[in-house]
Structures are given as C-alpha cells and as structure tokens.
Amino acid sequence: GENVEQHPSTLSVQEGDSAVIKCTYSDSASNYFPWYKQELGKRPQLIIDIRSNVGEKKDQRIAVTLNKTAKHFSLHITETQPEDSAVYFCAASMGQAGTALIFGKGTTLSVSS
Amino acid sequence: NAGVMQNPRHLVRRRGQEARLRCSPMKGHSHVYWYRQLPEEGLKFMVYLQKENIIDESGMPKERFSAEFPKEGPSILRIQQVVRGDSAAYFCASSPSGTGDTEAFFGQGTRLTVV
C-alpha cells in the first residue's frame, strides 16, 4: 500500500552542526512533498514543501531536495539551533483520490548547546 | 482569519462510551482530513472529506469509526464504544483544495483518553 519511510527516527547534533533527514515514498504519482515540525504538545506546522517539478528548494537555513527517479526526498537544516529541537515529519501526497497526505513516522531532532 | 479549530482539546471517556470530535476548517477551506497520532508515533491518515462527501476513508477502521462533514457546521469524527486502544491525539487538517499540491493546516488536536 501507500507508504512513506523516514530515517533516522532520532537525531542528536551539536548546535551549529547540520542535520539531514531522509524519506522515501512508494507512489510514483506523488507530486507534493511537505515537511512539518511538531513541538511537544503542539500542532504540526509546515516548514517547507516541494513539488514534483522542482529538484531543490531553500528557505534560509532549511532546504529540501527531491529525486523523483529514486522516489526519495531529504530535509537539510544548517547551523542548527536549540529551538530547532522538535519532531519533524515528511509527507507525500497519495491515496485513493491522490490527494491525501501520508506521513512518515517522524524524526526526533535534539540540538544541544 | 481563525485557524483550524478543534474541540474539545481534551476528552475523557469510559470504555463503551461514544466520543465525538469536532473540527471547524479555516475559512474558505472545503477539504478536511483526520489523522490519529499515537504516543511516540507519526500521523496516521484516517479519512478525507469534502462538504457532504467522503472522498477517501481508506485509513479508518471499518467498525466503530465514522466521519462526516455536513453542508453546515463542523466536521465530526465519531468513535462508538471506545476501547483503551482508541486513546490518542486526533488531528484535523484543512486545505482550500486537495493536498495534491497545497498546504494542509492542522488544528491543535483532541487528546482522547479512554479509562
């Protein structure tokens, strides 16, 4: 069935280091790939997204890359800060109607100062 | 423009009771999605609705769970005869069109505890 796999499940970095989270998806028809950040006890919030006609997108310290052939996409956070600590979820559009978002299981990022 | 509103924020039910979770989408959004989040786990898709229509319910258990999004009023996720395993956070999201290429905005969630 439709599936999104996300790695690693936990990631610990020192402040100032880079963090990379990777996801693969199963449906070759997927065309929208958002990343959400969820702080403890709060709602998921979109941090960046990419569509299938683009290979890379950057927004300040955050970038996302997409390889449609290999069906994988990655989140890159540079110069990490303690406030980047949260759970990050990747997602891909798929489903019966082709428009539901299917999420990975999340990556808990811890940035220590 | 108010965000996605869910209520109640916290709901406690005894085993066998019914739980009703409400979601009011953002103004102008006619697409609603329900997700379940278990502790330490990701967001599991349950159902996708448009006004008066269920578009995709492939993630919803066949028994005890139902969802609706009437012409007027909020979307409702209904869980009958709750069991302890239903304890989770239930998030609703809305978008102005299908999430094929648009952002889905999430509500604060309803944390259901079954005792």
pLDDT, one tens digit per residue, over A58-73 is 999 999 999 999 999 9
Q: Which of B42, B55, B107 sits opposite A43 (nearest CB)?
A: B107
pLDDT at B87: 96
A96 pLDDT exceeds 60? Answer: no
Tell me how close the Cα of A42 comes to any Cα of chain B, in angstroms.
Answer: 6
- B107 inside 8 A of chain A by CB: yes
The mean pLDDT of B96-114, rounded to a whole number, is: 87
Q: Give residues with Cβ within 8 angstroms of A47, minimum separation 6.
A: A35, A36, A37, A59, A62, A88
pLDDT at B97: 78
* DSSP letter, residue B85: G
Here the tokens at position B97 are 């069109």
Chain B residues with CB under 8 Å of A99 CB are: 31, 48, 55-56, 98-100
Percent of chain B topping pLDDT 90: 78
